[in-house]
Chains A and B, each alone.
Chain A
C-alpha cells in the first residue's frame, strides 16, 4: 500500500526495459525465406479408364464409400462443387445446390438448400439424394452434420492444384465419369501449362498480394490453390503463409497487384501509409476475384481466370487481342499493370 506509487513506476520501468530488450532481439527473428524453384505444371496426361461398378472410392477425408451404381440424385453444397459436377456432364443429376451457385446459368435455377452459412439440413435430407458432394475447404461444419444425419457425403479437397486433380479423379470414379474427369483435368492442366510457358518469356515477375479483408489482413500463402495459380501466372505472392499480414510488411514488400473482391477496393485504398508507397494502391492495380469467381473455383472456368490474371500481370507478352505475343523483347519492363 505504502509503496504503490513506486510499484507503478517500477512496472513502467520494467515495461520500458523489456520493450527495448525485445525490440533489439526481434530483429534476428525473421521467418525463413522460401526459395522454391519456379513451378512447372507437369506434362502428365490423364489416361481415361472406363468406369466400373460396383466400385469403392475413398474421398479426400479418406472415408471409403461403396457405389453399386452411379448416383442419380446429387446435392451440391458448394459453388465450386456445382461447377465441377456440370463440367463432368452431371448437371442433369444435380437436384439442388446453394444460393451462391452462380455458374452455369442452369445452376441458378435449381432448388437451393441455403447459403454458405445457413444451410438447411432438413431440406437436404428431405431430397433423399444418393450422394452429397461437399468442398472440404469451405463446408467443414455441415459435412459432419450431414454425415450424422446418415447422408452419403463425398468430400472434395481442392486446396492445391494436385489435390484438385485427385478430387476430380475420385469424383469421376464414384459417378462413372472417369473419361470426363480425365478430359477435364487434361484440359485445365494443358491450359495452365501453356500460360506458364507464355509468361516465362516475360523478363519480370510481378509482386502480388491476395487480400480478403482490411480489418485483419487475411491472405493466401503460396501453398493454396490461388497461391499456385499466382505462380503459374508469373506472379510472386508476397505472403509467406496463410497468416494475416502486417500493414508494415505490406509497405515493405510493395506488392504491384492486389487480388481482392471489388467491394474491398475502397477499403484498401484508405489503408494508412499505403497510398504512395504500395504500387498496387498508387496505381489502382486491383485484380478482382469475386465478380465471376473464376480464379478461386477449381473447375474449367479456372482457365479463364488464370488467363485473365496472366494477361493482367504480364501485358508485355500478350498482344492487344489477348493472344500470346509472337516474340518478346528481353530486358523490357514496360507495359506493367497500372501504367
Chain B
C-alpha cells in the first residue's frame, strides 16, 4: 500500500482549508488596474461585518461604491467560484472512481453540452432576462439533467449500465449536442446581434463575470445535495475501486449505486454549468493531485478534492480578473490544467491512480 505514507500527512485538510480562506480573502481584496477606489483588507472586513445580521455595525468607513464592489460584485463571485471549483472536483472524483477511468471528468457524460445548449436556446430566444434573469440558469440546469437521463437510458442495456457504454453514449450525445450549440452560435451570428453571440461564447468559455448572489440560490441547494449523496456513498466508492464484480460480491447494489453517483455528479455539474458555463480541466486534474496528497480513501479524498478544486478555481479567477483584464476563468484553468495533467502523466501518476 503505497499511499499509506501519504495518508499520514495529517494536516493536509487544515492546510488546504487555510489556503482556500487566504485565497478568498486575497481575491476579495485585490483590485484590478485602473480602479481608483481604494479597497484594503480592512475595508473588506468592515464591509462584510456590516452585512452580518448579528454583529452588524453601521460602519461609516465604507462608501456605497466600496460596498457595491466588495459585497455586490466580489463576494458573490469569490464564493460562487470556490463552490464551482469544489463541485467540479467532487464530481470529477466520483466519475473517475466509478467509471474506473483516470481520463473521466464531469463533462464526459454530456451534461455540460446539454446545459450549454439550454443556455444558448434561452439566449437565442432573447430570454436571458426572463424570470428575473433566472430563466437561463434554470433552462441550463434542466437541459443538463435531461441530457443525463437520456445518456443513462441510451447506455443501459438489459438493465445494466457498463462503464464503457456509458462513456461512449456520453461522448456521442455530447458531441451531437455540441454541434447543435454551434448551430445556435451560427444563427445568433446571422442575427447580427453581437451580444447574443458573446453570451453563448462566454458560456462555452466558462466565466464568472456576471455571477451574483442569485446564482448561489441555484448552486447551493444542488451542490449540498450532491455532496451529501456522494459523501454517503464514500464506502461504496472505495469498494468500486476493487472492480465492479468484487464490489457486487461485497454487498454493493451496483446498479442502484451507479444511478446515485450519476445523479449526484450530474446535479453538481449541471448546477455549475448553469451559473458559470463550462470550466474545463478542474474536474479532471484536481482529483489526481488530491489522490497524491491523501490517497485513494474517499473519506479523505472527497473533502480534499473539494478544497483543492475551490483553491484552483478561486486562484484562476483571481489571476484572470486582476492581471489579465477579465480573461475568462475557463480559459485559464484549461491553460494551466492541460500542462498539469501532462506533468502528472509523465510522472506515471495517472496510471497509478
Contact = CB atoms under 8 A, between A and B. Distances in A.
A218 B193 CA distance: 13
Given A23-B322, A263-B193, A248 B73 contact: yes
A27 interface: yes
Given A20-B26, A276-B68, A277-B64, A15 B315 contact: yes
Residue of B68, B194, B211, B292 with highest tally of chain A CB at under 10 A: B68
Interface residues of B, number: 62
Interface in A258-276: 261, 263-264, 266-267, 269-274, 276
B35 A246 contact: yes
Given A27-B38, A264-B195, A15 B23 contact: yes
A15 B22 CA distance: 10
A117 B185 CA distance: 12
A248 B213 CA distance: 16
A48 B41 CA distance: 65
B72 interface: yes
Given A247-B209, A249-B35, A269 B23 contact: no
Interface of chain B: mostly helix, strand, loop or mixed: helix
B342 interface: no
A11 B159 CA distance: 47
Interface stretch (B53-61, B126-134, B236-244): B126-134
Interface string B1-37: 0000010010010010001001100100111111111
Contacts of B62: none
A270 B33 contact: no
Contacts of A272: 72-73, 76-77, 210-213
A273 B311 contact: no
Interface stretch (A2-10, A170-178, A224-232): A2-10
B293 A8 contact: yes
Interface residues of A, number: 52
Interface in B195-209: 195-196, 198-199, 201-202, 207, 209
B207 A213 contact: no
A224 to B, nearest CB: 16
A31 B201 CA distance: 29
Contacts of B34: 29-31, 240, 246, 249
Contact of A270 (B74, B207, B212): B212
Contacts of B73: 247-248, 251, 272-273
Given A5-B6, A100-B192, 8 more contacts: A5-B12, A12-B311, A19-B23, A212-B194, A213-B194, A214-B210, A217-B326, A269-B129
Interface of A: 1, 4-5, 8-9, 12, 15-16, 19-20, 22-23, 26-27, 29-31, 100, 115-118, 212-218, 240, 243-244, 246-249, 251-252, 254, 261, 263-264, 266-267, 269-274, 276-277
17 contacts: A5-B12, A5-B293, A19-B26, A26-B31, A215-B202, A216-B202, A246-B326, A248-B69, A252-B37, A263-B126, A263-B196, A267-B128, A267-B129, A270-B132, A270-B212, A276-B72, A277-B68
| Nearest 3 interchain pairs by C-beta | A273-B72, A266-B129, A272-B212
